Amino acid sequence: MKKLLLFVLTPLLFAGCAAVQEAENFANCKYALRSVEIADYTINSLAFDVYIGITNLNKKEAAAIKKFEGQLTMNDTHVADVSFADVRVEPNSIKNQKVHLVIPMTTFSSKLLGLVSMGSGTVDYHLTGTATFDTPLGEVPIPVDIGRIGSTN
């Protein structure tokens, strides 16, 4: 009877170990808002390139982000929704994920529009969202909260 119980529990133990290893892959990721740059502008909208730095601190396994969904704010004003999918970060490396955003001028207050258009160092950028990883046990959402003060590094 003990052998049968051991035989039944062994696959569950291996599945649990695989899930822990997979959890390590995304638990070891760090996020940073590298830069927000004006890419283009018209009378009706501003286009930005947002660069999100994703660092995989795991030395052996790549981290695969199935999707990211979040919100970008500038000086506490919601500016845009940010999303990307299918990003792979190799072990012990950094990936700068570029996201292109086109934002209507009506989104900006006149003060914020002036600061952004002049490339002012007083603009505070903040990105909050959820990175979702695909694991053997299903999708696992991880909250991400990153910000950067000023328009230059």
Task: State the pLDDT at residue 95.
Answer: 95
Give the mean model confidence (pLDDT) for residues 85-105.
92
Query: Does pLDDT of 150 surpass 70?
Result: no
Q: What is the pTM of this model?
A: 0.72
Question: Residue 48: what are its φ and ψ, rounded to 5°?
Answer: -125, 150
Q: In what order do the strands lie in the sheet with 93-104?
A: 29-41, 45-56, 93-104
Residue 73 sits at the vertex; the CA angle it makes with 105 and 92, to the nearest 5 degrees, is: 125
Among 42-51, 68-77, 108-117, the range scoring the smallest mean pLDDT is 108-117
Mean pLDDT of the chain: 79
For the domain bounded by 2-149, which CATH number is listed?
A: 2.60.40.1820
In terms of DSSP bridges, do strands 138-149 and 93-104 run parallel, antiparallel, or are they unpaired?
A: unpaired
Give the mean model confidence (pLDDT) for residues 55-82.
89
Taking the domains of the chain in order of start, what are their residue ranges? 2-149
b/e 80-99 (16+ beta carbons within 10 angstroms → b): bebebeebebeeeeebebeb
- Helix, strand or coil for residue 7? helix
